[in-house]
Amino acid sequence: MRPYELIKAKRDGKKLSPDDIAAFIDGYTKGSVPDYQMSAMLMAVFFRGLDDVELGAWARAMLFSGEVLDLSETPGIKVDKHSTGGVGDKVSLSLAPLAAACGVPVPMISGRGLGHTGGTLDKLESIPGFKVDLPVADYRRLVREVGACLIGQTSTLAPADKKLYALRDVTATVDCIPLIASSIMSKKLAEGIDALVLDVKVGSGAFMKRIEDARTLARTMIAIGREMGKKVTALLTDMDQPLGRTVGNALEVIEAVEMLRGKAPADYTEVTLALTAEMLVLGGKAKDAAEARAKLQRCIDDGSAEKKLRELVKAQGGDPSAIADLGKLPRARHTAPVAAPAGGFVTGIDSEGIGLAAMALGAGRERTDSVIDPAVGFVLEKKVGDAVQAGEPLVTVHYNDAAKLEAVKARVVAAYRIGGERPAPRPLVLERLE
């Protein structure tokens, strides 16, 4: 069928055949299907959805639009983790060395900050010298020799997603579960994994605000992975407040290293251990989560997880002494407290508001060509459930540009909700799906 007929069929709620989907996506990747026809198709998919067969074909076409890496020269079950994105989500920084220290090879292709959410690559680049744009040959070698490698998307892996994502961004078709699921899975399956753990974030700081949507997204991604013969499990985790106490690139690296020393906040430690335990089980290094947890704890206690991070940093061109001595990481020139406007208990923190405030401070990009300031960000002195007195610091702002400070402080105040009663604690891991 011609592109026009396929768009019309989807618009009218008809099913598309796998061959037609493959031809449409191939045509778009190569340029014979123009942006305006793909835009119309994306909007038709937005309203009509894709059934399981269509979704499998759509994801496969995106995956095979480029190179699919084969890492079989590295022995063992290669396992990655993917987060749908949050605020203060520095899990990958501690999870990758932890899993690698326990013998699970971790090939990880990560992203940059997107909207109000931070990105692993931006955080890693705050380590002096760290390179995220290594050639694929180095990525392969480091997965084999070091046990982990974290790089950015290359132009040869899932190129259809690169084009489609940019188009979705300007056609109001990003927040569509089949399109998100195929976008994420095509990139992850291209990186050479055998198994994948998904961290699907739910709450004010996540793309999925409702648990029902997070569950549907997780199930959709698990189904795509299974179709491709990969083992996939998912945890739905809370993103109703930022994870841990830091938001901002170098500040988050510091917290990640502290996690590997057993000294990080309980929420961030728990989410990291829960996800890494899933990786150890999928990777055949533990029979169940309890055994995995015990192994992870040993790697923290004996220092081998931090040692693995230093090894990884060195292998990727970074200065490992900046991990041993965190004072060598970029540090903002000034700090300022944000005072609580009233006393009581913190009943909520709008993570998206905090993420946007961090972006305004320079920790994220306002435009694709913005330059990030790795040193700036927030330390959250109060989190949900904490008692606070009027005038006490809610947050410490780390900043370099005084002109930005007052507006950022106002955003932080607006993101905090303070009430008279301590809220009931929320579970961090809301559900597990496989």
Q: Which residues of 212-251 are buried (b: 16+ CB within 10 A; e: fewer)?
A: ebbbbbbebbbbbbebbebbbbbbbbbbbbbbbbbbbbbb
Stretch that binds ligand URA, among 16-24, 172-180, 243-251, 421-429 (CB under 6 A): 172-180
What whole-number distance in Å separates Cα of residue 237 and Cα of residue 38? 33
Active-site annotation holder among 20, 80, 122, 161: 161
Beta-carbon contacts of 77 under 8 Å, excluding residues fewer than 6 positions away, are: 104, 105, 194, 195, 282, 283, 284
Mark the segment that binds ligand URA (CB under 6 A) among 177-185, 244-252, 276-284, 316-324.
Answer: 177-185
- Closest CA relative to residue 153, chosen from 82, 77, 258, 99: 82
Tell me whether residue 209 is one of the annotated catalytic residues: no
Q: 65, 182, 183, 351: which one is catalytic? A: 183
Q: How many CB atoms lie within 10 A of CB 170?
A: 10
CA gap 42, 79 in Å, rounded: 31
| Contact region with ligand URA (CB under 6 A), list: 173-181, 216-224, 376-384, 408-416 | 173-181
Angle 249-260/266-282 helices, nearest 10 degrees? Answer: 70
User: Is residue 286 a contact residue for ligand URA (CB under 6 A)?
Assistant: no
Residue 51 one-letter amino acid: D
Closer to ligand URA by Cβ: residue 183 or 237: 183
Q: Is 120 in the site for ligand URA (CB under 6 A)?
A: no
Q: How far is the CB of 308 from ligand URA (least distance, A)?
A: 26
Q: Is 12 a catalytic residue?
A: no
Whether 161 sits among the annotated catalytic residues: the reply is yes
Shortest reach from residue 186's CB to ligand URA, in Å = 9
CB of 335 to ligand URA, least distance (A): 33
Give the span between the Cα atoms of 388 and 164, in whole angstroms.
46
**Shortest Cβ 178–ligand URA spacing (Å):** 10
Among 41, 132, 148, 180, binds ligand URA (CB under 6 A): 180
Q: Is 11 a catalytic residue?
A: no
80: helix, strand or coil? strand
Among 143, 184, 202, 388, binds ligand URA (CB under 6 A): 184
Residue 183 contacts ligand URA per CB under 6 A: yes
| Residue 187 appears among annotated catalytic residues | yes
Please name the helix (run of DSSP H) or strand (run of DSSP E) that holds residue 56, with its range, or none.
Answer: helix 52-63
Closest to ligand URA by CB, 59 vs 247, is: 59
Comparing CB distances to ligand URA, the nearer of 179 and 300 is 179
SS3 sequence of 139-197: HHHHHHHCCEEEEECCCCCCHHHHHHHHHHHCCCCCCCHHHHHHHHHHHHHHCCCCEEE
Binding site for ligand URA (CB under 6 A): 174, 179-180, 183-184
- Catalytic positions, written as ranges: 82, 161, 168, 183, 187
